[in-house]
Amino acid sequence: MSDQNNDCLSDWLDDDMLPSTGTTDELLGQSSDSIAESILVHGLLSDIGRRDKARDDERIQALMQLINADTLAVEGATEFDEPLAGAKHLLSPTAGKRRTWISILSSALAVAAVVMVMFIVTGPHHNVSAAMTSLEKILSTAAEPFDRTYRVRVVEEYPRDKQPRNLPSDVRDRKVKEQIDGATLYVRGVNQYVLEVMLWNGLKRTSGCDGIVSWAFREDGPVHESMDLNRFRGGIPGQQQDIPFINIHSHLSQLHSDYEVELTLKQETTSSGTIVSQLVGKRKSDGIRGPKVIDLWFDEENGTVHKILLDGLPRGRGGPKSLMLELIGQSELTPQFFSHDSHHEPGRQVRHEDKQ
């Protein structure tokens, strides 16, 4: 391999910071074989270094659940769903695009669950067998259609002069449309949610996902609907952060590697009389996206998260420095609650964004 290609490959594989931009370097001489060998060895080592049999099983299980859900989605498909060549019983083209980028509000719940998993696995007073049992319980609970309602509260805003200087002025001056303070987030299982938020003009915006389609509408406008489950998560503070929510199982390793987790000795009693314990997750480096600190309070008996503080949110697109999510309800919602039909009067115009 040429020195130039060797250096380039070494930068690519071993620089601590992932490159943010770059172009194809010229391939010199017979470098392709030695580059291929080097990256294959890198892949083999990365794989055995991160190998976890339980994770492999979870990954496959999560995938098959998605495929099963996609099949069901097609059974209920409309004339707006474009059929795929050669796949008569499958998805619309966008439904397969299940990238798990998510707003910080929803992701916080996933982070919370993961932080708890970290605690249970690494906690000094749990033996391995009990930890694994608890881990399985939490993972299966996260996938259960279990309803939780959270109220969002802004704890601290960034001062105007603390906004990053490298942003274009139009981005710095852009005002976030939503008043996230006071918003309500309903969550069921791993991929169903409804978020109600007030706009600065006094109108309410409701967005959500029922696991098959995502949707959003203002109280005075049509319903926008998409098979892309992440389509309507924009505009929410923290939405630029790549913290997963939809499929917690497939991202445990990322969160595992990105946060240092510590169990404090602090306990609190909630207004409902539940004693909750504190866990703190600290982001390992500035190169990682996501809040700097995640501070959560949970019921040790059943693992329910009661309070989550997200501190040090990225400032890139406006929004607060710190947010608090507080559990305000666990009552069962109606089966159709996560469908938009449950949130507006009959006959509201619906625009399918996937229609070509």
Partner 1 sequence: MDDILVKKSQKVFEILVRENTRMLMVYLRSLVRDESVIEDLFQESMIVAWRRLDDCDLDRPFGPWLRGIASRLVKAHYRKRKLAPIVLHDAVLFAVDRQFEHINLQVGDTWDEKVFALHQCIDELPKKQKGVLIGKYFDSLQTQLLADQFELTYEACKKRLQRGRAVLAECLKRKGVMSTAEAKS
Q: Between residue 20 and residue 59, which ones bind partner 1 under the rule CB under 8 A?
A: 20-25, 27, 30, 32-50, 56, 59
CB of 119 to partner 1, least distance (A): 19
Total number of residues that touch partner 1 (CB under 8 A): 73
Helix intervals (H) in the chain:
3-14, 31-50, 53-75, 104-122, 128-143, 169-173, 252-258
Instruction: Give the separation between CA 292 and CA 311, rounded to whole angstroms.
Output: 6
Of 255-294, binders to partner 1 (CB under 8 A) are 257, 285
CB of 76 to partner 1, least distance (A): 14
CB of 194 to partner 1, least distance (A): 24
Q: Which of 54, 76, 79, 87 binds partner 1 (CB under 8 A)?
A: 87
CB-CB contact of 290 with 241 (8 Å): yes
Q: What angle do CA 317, 320, 321 make, to 5 degrees?
A: 105
The reply on whether position 60 binds partner 1 by CB under 8 A is yes
Distances (CA, A) of 29 to 3, 5, 35: 11, 10, 11
CB of 85 to partner 1, least distance (A): 8
Q: Which of 29, 97, 146, 332 binds partner 1 (CB under 8 A)?
A: 97
Q: Which segment (60-68, 184-192, 210-218, 228-236) binds partner 1 by CB under 8 A?
A: 60-68
Cβ-based nearer residue to partner 1, 16 or 220: 16
Cβ-based nearer residue to partner 1, 49 or 202: 49
Instruction: Give the separation between CA 115 and CA 281, rounded to whole angstroms.
Output: 7
DSSP string, 198-261: EETTS-EEEEEE-SS-EEEEETTSPEEEESSTTTT-TTSTTTTSB---TTGGGGHHHHHHHEEE
CB-CB contact of 267 with 275 (8 Å): yes
Of 200-259, binders to partner 1 (CB under 8 A) are 242, 244, 247, 250-251, 253-254, 257
CB of 231 to partner 1, least distance (A): 16
Q: Which of 15, 79, 170, 345 binds partner 1 (CB under 8 A)?
A: 15
